[in-house]
Amino acid sequence: MNSLLDVILTTDFAFSVLRVTTPILFAALGALISNRAGIINIGMEGIMLVSALAGVIVSAYTHSAWVGLLGAVLSGTLIAGILAFFTLKFKTHIILGGVAINMFASGGTVFILYLLSGDKGSSTSLASKVLPSVQIPLLKDIPVLGPILSGHHILTYFSILSVLVVYYLLNRTPLGLRIRSVGENPHAAQSVGVSVVRIQYTALLLSGFFASLGGAYMSMGYLSLFTRDMVAGRGWIAIAAESMGRSTTVGTALTSLLFGAADALSNALQVLKIPAELIATLPYVATVVGLIIYAVSETRKKNKKLKTTTTK
Amino acid sequence: MANALLEMRGITKVYPNGVVANKDVGFSLREGEIHAIAGENGAGKSTLMKIMFGMEEPSEGAIYIRGEQVKLQSPQDAIDRGIGMVHQHFMLVPSFTVAENMVLGMEPRKGVGFNAGEAVRLTEETARKYNLSVNARAKVEDLSVGMKQKVEILKALVRGAKILILDEPTAVLTPQETEELFHELQQLKEQGHTIVFISHKLKEVKAICDRITIMRGGRSEGVFQTREVTEQGISRLMVGRDVVLKYDKDSIPHGKPVLRVEQLAVSDSQGKALLAEISFSVREGQIVGIAGVEGNGQTQLIEALTGGLRGVSGSGAVSVKGTDIRGLDILGIRSLGVSYIPEDRMRQGSAGDASIADNLISTRYRSKDMNKGPFLHSSKIAALASSLVEEFKVRCSGTRQPVGMLSGGNMQKVVVARECSTNPQLLIAEQPTRGVDIGAAQFIHQKLLELRSDKCAIVLVSADLNEILELSDSLLVMYEGQIVAYFDNPSAVSEEELGLYMLGINRQDKEQTGRALNHV
């Protein structure tokens, strides 16, 4: 037990929580935006995978990590655009489209990887670039806080910034108002001339944008190469984080952090003599426990409400 | 017409499913008038309004505003031309504030952000200008129905609407709210607005409208000065015949008791009595009406008769043809020959996405006739469905059409057709004609009387006094979970007299109400 605490109560562990939260947080914010517009993007996993590969390839050929990032974002947003096109234009069911995107991404990335590098497993033969980490002056010298908060990957900082951006976007801008109105009562939005389809397009593209930042982080920060199916369910966990966060920006960010912490814990505990398989279940156990707590509190709230209305 | 503000000529609308909703309809609106469009459910009023508001495009015909032909391809086009609509189902976002709902789609900005302060100011200014007070900062989900409607009217006005279309605006309002609305509409008219008022409540049309366009079966029956036509005249044009709720009932001898309820008492989980000392019977060929203000135990009584009260504490006996039904499930009760027309045709009476045919067989798909081995016998089902659709005059494009696409009256006919066509011994009809146009209501009444002639016992619960007085052979009045009056000749009872019992002012003695059990 002591050794467990030894592992958790270190600045290294706290640092790693932020590190593994980053891709989940990005994707969860993306899921949040599309969900608020009333359209569930379950293609997060596939979008992340495609953008992870695109970042590696573009950076390898242009010798620039930043152009690589741009490539990742463009390709991820493009995939979201394709999903939006089929869903909103041809009225394909969004779940069907999302599943197609995920399967296409899983197979397609391996295919392209093989074409370019001759390797089906990873991109080791491609000289891809990595985005920099940032030391924050002043902050880095503060004990405890410094080692936890400073020295992170630039996209990690950007993901935290994105929480504020998404909050502002949804709650304080005309676009956010329209996104929420379309999600809550599309007829109302339509009746005042808001184009439901255009708003949902925008929301899906934005969700693709954020998911692809998460994907770029996977191959240009978390790891420095692409490996097959490297997103490993993070897109799905992000969707869970969004709904457990009750579709609010703050809730989504906090649940993402919770899942990140569980993920980090499972990484950290591998040094102990606990079976790796058991540790690997931690994030999922956290999900189930979280959902149970959520369901219980919701039921209580409902019962309370019922009681007050009946006593009225 | 030279001074027409808006004119629609030769409007025909055929939906992709083949339903002709409007046929060569003309409509002309003068500036500054309140113009009613009246018609039965399914007469094409809503479609015409949707075309006027750009929600539907006409298959044929043209729209002119001040003599200039316009194409309205979206609500935005209509809004841009000064047309606003207050929908029957409010187009509001519940979690938004009044101000946010007001400016949605035309949000004031501050930099890249939304200027919430300006939205509130604009709302308050508009509210003051038109003398419609609302709380700009309140959340819409917390508002009363009347308030929500005000927000809808303001929403249209703030977008510069000079023509205001109101789709059955009083359907959801209390009498006080209705009066307030009329006052507001008069004010708007004085300020130079033009109002299109869709309704089938003739009294309201007479009270507030200058002119009236009457629609029937997708066609216009003409335009009239409201003060020059009587309510009877309007209803004749709407229905195509004089509406009189007078039926020739053959007096048939009542046979053996089918339903017998004795000393039924039910209380809720907190021990509050919902029903007490309910005793009555219904015999073959007899219609027993149950009148009462809503919420006086009728719902619980129906639940007790249809198996919905299993597990709730209660006492007494309920039997159908001598079989105790307490403890039986719905299937068990139905297999005794009980049919049930529920009050809510959308939620309980039908499955909106399922076809007419599927809805029609939902109570009898288990029977051998409807099956061929492990499969449903589709040709037999289709034949049954088409014959029922024909017999009950359901207006639809075919038996595979989803029930949810039908108008309210036709949907109700499907429910009635299903429940009446299984040779029921006992029919429980709960508000069978609520929200249904006069034509369909009369049709349903005829069907109930036919069943009565076939010796079916009928329990009729209705808030429509006209209906209940005219159809019932015996009448019970419920008040606070008890039977407070029994009449064996309902058509001789006046509505006023009935009202005294329904409101609990009068009450008969036990001896009189006790007659409900044996009808002697």
Decide if B159 touches A, using CB distance below 8 A.
Answer: yes
Inter-axis angle of helices B175-190 and B145-158, to 10 degrees?
A: 20
Q: B269 is written with which tokens?
A: 């989980």
Beta-bridged to residue B25, according to DSSP, are B11
Residue bearing tokens 């009555």? B280
Q: What percentage of residues in chain A have a pLDDT greater than 90?
A: 61
Q: Which pLDDT value is given to residue B75?
A: 85
pLDDT tens-digit series, residues B462-491: 877 778 888 999 999 998 889 999 998 888
Q: What is the CA radius of gyration of chain A?
A: 21
Identify the closest residue of chain A to B76 by CA–CA distance: A193
CB B483 within 8 A of CB B516: yes
Check if A197 contacts B (Cβ < 8 Å).
no
Rounded to whole angstroms, the Cα distance separating B210 from B201 reads 15
Give the gyration radius of chain B's Cα atoms: 26
Average pLDDT, integer, range B19-23: 82
Q: How confident is the model at residue B203 (pLDDT cuts 50, 70, 90)?
A: confident
Q: Which residues of B touch A192 (CB under 8 A)?
A: 75, 79, 91, 104-106, 155, 159
B107 touches chain A (CB under 8 A): yes
Q: Which residues of A touch B98 (CB under 8 A)?
A: none
The residue count of chain B comes to: 520
Query: For residues B506, B510, B513 and B517, what is the CA-based torsion angle, rounded to 10 degrees?
Result: 170
Phi, psi of B283 (to 5 degrees): -105, 170
Q: Per-residue pLDDT tens for B373-395?
A: 888 998 999 999 999 999 998 98
| Percentage with pLDDT > 90 across chain B | 47
Which one is predicted more confidently, B420 or B346?
B420
Structure confidence by residue, pLDDT tens digits, B220-252: 888 999 888 887 777 777 765 444 567 777 778
Provide the token pair at B436: 């249904």
pLDDT score, position B325 = 87
Place of tokens 């249904």: B436
Phi, psi at residue B60, to the nearest 5°?
-140, 160
Give the best residue of A191, A194, A198, A307 to mutate against chain B (max B CB count within 10 A).
Answer: A191
Kindly state the average pLDDT of the residues B412-425. Answer: 93
Average pLDDT score over chain A: 89
Give strand ranges (E) for B3-86.
4-14, 20-30, 34-39, 60-65, 68-70, 83-86
Residue A45 contacts residue A31 (beta carbons within 8 Å): no
**What are B247-293's pLDDT values in tens digits?**
777 778 888 999 999 999 988 766 677 888 899 999 999 999 998 87
CB contact under 8 A, B91 and A188: yes
* pLDDT tens per residue across span A137-180: 888 888 888 888 888 999 999 999 999 999 999 999 999 999 99
Name the pTM for this structure: 0.73
CB-neighbour burial class of residue A298 (10 A; exposed 0-12, middle 13-18, buried 19+): exposed
Q: Are B197 and B37 in contact (CB under 8 A)?
A: yes
CA–CA separation, B222 vs B226, rounded Å? 12
Smallest CA-to-CA distance from B314 within B280, B282, B273 is with B273
Q: Where residue A304 falls among pLDDT bands split at 50, 70, 90?
A: low
- Check residue A2 and give its pLDDT: 66
Predicted confidence at residue A309, as pLDDT, reads: 46
DSSP letter for each residue of A243-296 = HHTTT-HHHHHHHHHHHHHHHHHHHHGGGSSS-HHHHHTHHHHHHHHHHHHHHH
> What is the ipTM, given to two decimal places?
0.82
Sheet containing strand B219-225, strands side by side:
B83-86, B163-167, B194-199, B34-39, B211-216, B219-225
Q: Nearest 5°: phi and psi at B259?
A: -110, 135
Contacts of A181 in chain B (CB under 8 A): 93, 96, 104
DSSP sequence for A189-230: HHHTT--HHHHHHHHHHHHHHHHHHHHHHIIIIISSS-BTTT
Q: Which is higher by pLDDT, A267 or A247?
A: A247
Mean pLDDT score of chain B: 87
Tell me the C-alpha distance between B100 and A85, whole Å: 30
- As a whole number of Å, the end-to-end CA separation of chain A is 52
Grade residue B1 by pLDDT with cuts at 50, 70 and 90: very low
Q: What confidence tier does A311 reach under pLDDT thresholds 50, 70, 90?
A: very low
What's the pLDDT tens digit per position in A34-54?
999 999 899 999 999 999 999
B50 — contact with chain A (CB < 8 Å)? Answer: no
> Kindly report the CA angle at A149 between A146 and A155, in degrees rounded to 5?
145
Write down the pLDDT at residue B341: 94
**Dihedral angle computed from the Cα positions of residues B447, B452, B453 and B456, in that order, rounded to the nearest 10 degrees:** 120
- Comparing alpha-carbon positions, the chain B residue that sits nearest to A195 is B105
Region B44-55: mean pLDDT is 89
Rounded to an integer, what distance in angstroms lies between the CA atom of residue B221 and that of residue A133?
A: 77
pLDDT for the residue B444: 92
Residue B181, min C-alpha distance to chain A (Å): 22
In chain B, what residues touch A306 (CB-CB under 8 Å)? none
Which candidate, B228, B226, B235, places its Cα nearest to that of B200?
B235
Nearest to A173 among B93, B112, B155 (CB): B112
pLDDT reading at B424 higher than 90: yes
